[in-house]
Structure formats: structure tokens, C-alpha cells
Amino acid sequence: MTVHIVTDSSHYLDPAVIAQLGLHVLPLSLNLNQKDYREREDITTEALFGMLADKSSAWPTTSAVTPGALQVAFDKLTANGDEVVGIFMSRGTSVTVESAQLVAAAHPAKDCIHVVDSLAISGALALTLHTAGRLAQSGASAVEIAAVARRMGEAMRVMFTVDTLDYLHRGGRMKGSQALLGSLLGIKPVLWLNQGRIELWSKARGKRKALATMLDESAKAMPADQPVHAIVFDAVAAEESVALARALRDRLPVERFCTAQIGPVVAAHVGPGCVAMAVCPASATQV
């Protein structure tokens, strides 16, 4: 019996890695100026920000994976008695995982479908998928893989900073963002995922201090002297991302490390200049 890993496209893994891990990816979409785009297929992050630089442009809206697309995927992957582990971006940032749970609960093969709220998004989701894909290929069961994915979500520290809160506020992805919009002159917010929801951790004077805070607090959250899995990801902020990656690897005993770029759907909510990191104890990735 084969175990298939299904996910949404917000992880932004390289296509070669997706193929290597055997992941089944259901695309998210973005609507801008009355036109629909499938992310990474019809529009890039750079193109999105270029379009938004035009002040006459409408603000983009993003769409979750539809119940219909989930139904088709579950039908196809369970047709031969195989099992499915669906690992999706957190319910605090998308309704995709809720839709997947509802579709799975009504599916004839519901006992073979295991839906996981990753409590993560973007690169943080990618970190979980790296482990899930490898476990599936090594012969782990669907129940074991789902348990590891949930454990990683609970153990992972995900932190990021943005150049402006305007994107998060307009997209409705951060509670209390309105109160901060007018108070960030020269100040950079340090944000984190708390049980899958975006919240303010602290404020720092300047981007460099914000990145240092992210690294310090992530390191404190990890068990002392134990290896970690880590990822650094960004939205058009390559230089800062490279510097953070170097500092992270100098600071922590990194067993597995990767990088990623933030794609259009998530970029529409965090804006250009976002730099993010996720760190997870290696012990949480074990069956």
C-alpha cells in the first residue's frame, strides 16, 4: 500500500524537490484586476509586486484550494486502496485545511485519508513536507506520518518580519494590525505563528535588530544542544535572507537546512522585504 502526501502550493518548494519527494500539490490562486492567476504557473512574486507598484491597481485577493479539487485528489489517490496524508497551511491563514477535513469526513475512503493542520505556512510548511515525503518513501504508515507532521507543527518556531504591515492588514491575516499601522516609523515588527495564527512578538528598531531578535528567540525555543531542522525564506529580500541563513547555521546545530522563496499568494499578504525562518527540533521529525 502506498501513502500519498497531498498539500497546497504555499510551501514553494522547488519543482525538482516536489518530484523527488513525490508530493501531490493542489494550487492556490490569486485574483488581481479581475484576472485569476495560478501561483507560480501564471504569475511570479516579482511580477505581482511590479503590478502592485501601479497605484491604479486593485488589491489582490487570494483563494484557498476548492472542495472540488480536494475531492478529485482524494478520489484519485485512494482508488487503489492507497492512503493519503493531507498536510496543509494552517487554518489561521487559510480555510483549505477545514475544507480538506470536511471533504475527507464525507469521502467513501475516509478511513484512508488523514488531514493535518500543519500550524505552518510557506517555508515552514516546506520543512514539514521534507520530512513527510521522506517518511512516506521509507515505508512509514499514514498514521505515523500524520503524527510526525502534527508534532512538528507544535514544536516548530516560526518567526518573520515585514517592511510594512499594510499587506497583512489589508488581507485580514493579522489580528490587531490596525493599531500598529501608524506606529511603525523606523520600527520593524517581529511576528510569529502562535498555533498557526500570526501575532506580534515584539517591535525592533530597524530590520537588522528584528532579524537578530528572530534568531535569538528561535534559538531559545529549541532544546539545548540538540540538532534542529531549519529553513529561511523570503519575499524579494535575498541579501538579508542569505545573511540570516549564515547566522542561523553559526548559532544552532543544524542537521538539515534549506531555503525557499515566498510565492505570490503568501507574498500578497506579507509584502516585499519579508524575511522568515522556521526551526524545529530534529527529535520531532522522528517516527
Give the pLDDT score at 177.
Answer: 47
Cα–Cα distance measured from residue 161 to residue 110, given in angstroms and rounded to the nearest whole number: 39
Could you report the average pLDDT of every consecutive run of 10 residues in the chain (287 residues)?
Answer: 96 95 95 89 90 88 95 97 97 95 98 98 97 98 98 98 83 54 69 93 92 98 95 96 97 96 93 96 96
Please provide residue 59's backbone torsions phi and psi, each rounded to the nearest 5 degrees. -85, 135
Give the pLDDT score at 41.
Answer: 83
CA torsion, ordered 180, 182, 184, 190, to nearest 10 deg: 20
Give the pLDDT score at 182.
Answer: 46
Give the pLDDT score at 220.
Answer: 97
Quote the distance between the C-alpha of residue 61 and its chain's center: 18
Nearest CA-CA partner of 153 in 263, 279, 267 = 279
Give the pLDDT score at 173.
Answer: 59
Architecture of domain 157-285: 2-Layer Sandwich (3.30)
Provide the residue type at 10 as one letter.
Answer: S
Give the pLDDT score at 174.
Answer: 59
Give the pLDDT score at 184.
Answer: 56
Fold for the domain defined by 3-31+63-153: Rossmann fold (3.40.50)
DSSP strand pairing (228-234 vs 254-261): parallel
User: Hey, where are the domains in the chain?
Assistant: 3-31+63-153, 157-285
Give the pLDDT score at 167.
Answer: 83
- pTM recorded for the entire structure: 0.93
Q: CB-side exposure of 9: number of CA atoms within 13 Å? A: 22
